[in-house]
C-alpha cells in the first residue's frame, strides 16, 4: 500500500508521502488486509492522503526463509543521546564519519522519501538510482507459527505492536543481505519517537526518543559495503520474497 497527497507550493505540485505497507499473505486474508491497509492510510497522523494505491501480486517463486533479528531496547533520553549512540555503534563496526554524517542528512531532511537511501560505508556516497523514490523493500512477511511466537515474545517486552513487528521483519530482510552493513530508521510519523539501528551481528536495537514528538522528518538508510553490487542488492530488497520463520516460544 502506498498513500500520498499532492501539495502545491510556488506554482509547483509535490507528492508528499503519507504511509506505506507491505506484506506476504495467504489469498484468504486479502480482503481483511486491504481493509486494514486502507484504514491505516486514511487515519495516518501525517495527514489525509488524496491517493491510495494498493497492489496485489501473486508470488510464484519459492519463499526464502530467514530468522528475525534479536530485539533490544536501549536506554536513550534525547535525540542528542540517540545521535551519540548511533555514531558510536556505526564507528565501532567500521562505518566512516562521512558515511554516518550523510546518513543523518537523509534522516533529518524535511523531504521524506518513500523508500530507503543507500549509502556506501566508506565514501558516504548515495547509490539509490532515484533519490525521490529510494529503494522500497517489498515481498516480506512472517509465517503463521513464527507470528504467534514473535507476538508472545514481544508481549513479554510490552512492545507487541504492528509498527514494531513490521519494522523488525523489514530490518531482518534488509540485514540478511551480505552487502548491508547496517540500517538506521527514524519513523516519519510525528507521533512515533522510537527508531532503531540494525545489523546482522548486533540485532535490532530500538532507540527511544530518537526524535522529538511532532517532528515529521524520518526515513530509512541502508549503509552498504563499498563494493556492493547495487543492482543485485536492489533486486533482493524489492523482488525476492523473504519470509521470517523459526521463531521459538522460549
Helix pair 97-108, 79-92: axis angle to 10 deg? 140
The residue among 66, 92, 99, 56 whose CA lies nearest residue 168 is: 66
CB of 195: closest distance to ligand PML in angstroms? 6
The distance of closest approach from Cβ of residue 242 to ligand PML in the complex, given in angstroms and rounded to an integer, is 17
CB 44 within 8 A of CB 18: yes
195 binds ligand PML (CB under 6 A): yes
C-alpha cell at 35: 481493509
The neighbour count for residue 220, using CB atoms within 10 Å, is 27
Q: What are phi and psi of 229, to 5 degrees?
A: -85, 100
Asked if 232 contacts 128 with a C-beta cutoff of 8 angstroms, the reply is no
Closest distance to ligand PML from the beta carbon of 206 (Å): 4
Q: Closest residue to ligand PML, Cβ-based?
A: 187
Q: How far apart are CA 118 and CA 227, in angstroms?
A: 12
Contact segment (CB under 6 A) with ligand PML among 9-17, 96-104, 138-146, 191-199 equals 191-199
CB of 8 to ligand PML, least distance (A): 27
Which stretch in 75-83, 96-104, 163-171, 176-184 sits in contact with ligand PML by CB under 6 A? 163-171
The stretch among 32-40, 102-110, 135-143, 181-189 that binds ligand PML (CB under 6 A) is 181-189
State yes or no: residue 196 binds ligand PML (CB under 6 A): yes
Nearer to ligand PML, 19 or 245 (CB): 19
Contacts of residue 129, defined as CB under 8 A and 6 or more positions apart, other chains included, come to 230, 234
Binding footprint of ligand PML on the chain (CB under 6 A):
163-164, 167, 185, 187, 189, 192, 194-196, 206
Amino acid at each position: 500500500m502506498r498513500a500520498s497527497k499532492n501539495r502545491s507550493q510556488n506554482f509547483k505540485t509535490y507528492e508528499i508521502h503519507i504511509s506505506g505497507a507491505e506484506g506476504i499473505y495467504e489469498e484468504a486474508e486479502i480482503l481483511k488486509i486491504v481493509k486494514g491497509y486502507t484504514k491505516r492510510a486514511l487515519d495516518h497522523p501525517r495527514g489525509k492522503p488524496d491517493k491510495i494505491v494498493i497492489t496485489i501480486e501473486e508470488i510464484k517463486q519459492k519463499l526464502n526463509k530467514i530468522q528475525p533479528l534479536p530485539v533490544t531496547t536501549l536506554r536513550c533520553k534525547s535525540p542528542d543521546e540517540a545521535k551519540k549512540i548511533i555514531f558510536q555503534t556505526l564507528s565501532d563496526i567500521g562505518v566512516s564519519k562521512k558515511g554516518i554524517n550523510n546518513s543523518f542528512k537523509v534522516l533529518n531532511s524535511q523531504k521524506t522519501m518513500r523508500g530507503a537511501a543507500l549509502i556506501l560505508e566508506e565514501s558516504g556516497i548515495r547509490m539509490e538510482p532515484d533519490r525521490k523514490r529510494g529503494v522500497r523493500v517489498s515481498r516480506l512477511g512472517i509465517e503463521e507459527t513464527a507470528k504467534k511466537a514473535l507476538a508472545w515474545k514481544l508481549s513479554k517486552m510490552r512492545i507487541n505492536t504492528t509498527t514494531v513487528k513490521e519494522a523488525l521483519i523489514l530490518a531482518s530482510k534488509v540485514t540478511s543481505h551480505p552487502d548491508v552493513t547496517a540500517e538506521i530508521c527514524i519513523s516519519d510519523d510525528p507521533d512515533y519517537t522510537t527508531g532503531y539501528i540494525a545489523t546482522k551481528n548486533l540485532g535490532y536495537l530500538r532507540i527511544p526518543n530518537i526524535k522529538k514528538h511532532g517532528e515529521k522528518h524520518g526515513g530509512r538508510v541502508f549503509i552498504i559495503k563499498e563494493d556492493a553490487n547495487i543492482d543485485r542488492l536492489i533486486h533482493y530488497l524489492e523482488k525476492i520474497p523473504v519470509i521470517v520463520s523459526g521463531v521459538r516460544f522460549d
